[in-house]
Chains A and B, each alone.
Chain A
Amino acid sequence: MNVKFFLIIGSAALLFLLFILKLVVNKKLSERESISWLGIGIVVFVFSLFPSLLDGVATYIGLHYSASLYFFFAIVFILLVLVRNACINTKHKKQITALGQKIALLELELREKNDP
């Protein structure tokens, strides 16, 4: 692969890292949620700085075309993020149920106090 390819990938990773940082600074994304995105941005950036590292990993896992490693990692990462988001979604649903029940019971208590 040529230098141009890694230059584009490196620049894209750097822009992505800056974009994530901007989201955190502007309070659109929490520090905790930014960990995985910053992590993947750093990994891609490091691979673009050291193309031989990408080739080495690709050869190790038996890939002939090292650029496809990016796609492999991207798919794995996206799947992990989706599963994690599904878990968070489940947790939030349970919390909303608990809050709804609590409010309903408090409302009943208030009604009984005001109208015995």
Chain B
Amino acid sequence: MNNRSLIIIPAFNEEENIACVIKDIRNNHPSLSFVVINDGSEDNTQSVLKKNNASYITHPINLGYGASLKTGYQYALKNDYDFVIQFDGDCQHRADQIQKLFSAYQEGKTDIVIGSRYKKDNEAKLSIAKKLAHKIFSALIHTKNQNPIKDVTSGFQLLNKKAYSYFAFLEDFPTQHPDANFLLLSSKVGFKLSEIPVLMKERGRGASMFTRWKTFFYVIEMIITIFVIYLRSGGKNQ
């Protein structure tokens, strides 16, 4: 494991979960740095972060999940980290699985390693609707990978410096949901991707940001975004 790595944790209204995320990381990787990007939370997320003596950056207003990651990339670049690990602030991701991302990076030397929920004994069960959405998006994005990426909405990822520094100031970086569109964009600009199975948990407490209507518009928006990426690139991989 590379100690010049930064764990980026985007958090919006996660007062009930963020303490458990910090504890998990500190218990499993006491030497790894982490930064919580408090994305304009309207609850007590910031107080919890202060209380836990955590390193954090607060957006004055809610800018979106993607914008939080971008802030994290910029912070990582400023502090010259070799890798970033994206880690959700809702207790779904497990710090003991970070090592798997590094091992996969060492083996495959890809620029981006995705932690996939497609594993038999996973605690986080994917709904049929989510699996269907994954299948559609996975079919829509043609990456250079031999096998198509299955878990196209996994936020548990490792990016090397080449990849994260490219996205740190990219105007086109999706500000809301960098999922299948992000993977396609990465592949189009020439980054190598790999996917490995990891264990994840169910979301901790509190409500998910995806309501039924938001999910509907998310799917439509994602299809348009994927289509537009193809149009912009003229269908070619760079």
Contacts and interface: CB of A to CB of B under 8 A. Distances in A.
B228 A25 contact: yes
Interface in A1-49: 21, 24-25, 27, 31-32, 34-35, 38
A24 B217 CA distance: 17
B221 A102 contact: no
A88 B171 CA distance: 22
B224 A38 contact: yes
A36 B221 CA distance: 10
Contacts of B232: 25
Interface residue tally on A, bucketed by range: 10 to 19
Nearest to A38: B224
Interface in B191-232: 217, 220-221, 224-225, 228, 231-232
A63 interface: no
B153 to A, nearest CB: 16
A112 to B, nearest CB: 19
B228 A98 contact: no
Given A21-B231, A25-B232, A32-B176, A98 B224 contact: no
B61 interface: yes
A40 B231 CA distance: 21
Nearest to A99: B60
A34 B128 CA distance: 28
Contacts of A27: 171-172
A35 B224 contact: yes
Interface residues of B, number: 13
A95 interface: yes
Contacts of B171: 27
A35 B217 contact: yes
A102 B176 CA distance: 23
Contacts of A95: 61
A83 B71 CA distance: 32
Nearest to B62: A95
Q: Which residue, A21, A27, A31, A102, has most C-beta atoms of chain B within 10 A? A: A31
Contacts of B228: 21, 24-25, 31
Contact of B224 (A34, A99, A102): A34
Given A24-B224, A31-B228, A32-B176, A102 B60 contact: yes
Interface of A: 21, 24-25, 27, 31-32, 34-35, 38, 95, 98-99, 102
Closest CB pairs A-B (n = 9): A102-B60, A95-B61, A31-B225, A31-B224, A25-B231, A24-B228, A98-B61, A32-B221, A31-B221
26 contacts: A21-B228, A21-B231, A24-B224, A24-B228, A25-B228, A25-B231, A25-B232, A27-B171, A27-B172, A31-B221, A31-B224, A31-B225, A31-B228, A32-B217, A32-B221, A34-B224, A35-B217, A35-B220, A35-B221, A35-B224, A38-B224, A95-B61, A98-B60, A99-B60, A99-B61, A102-B60
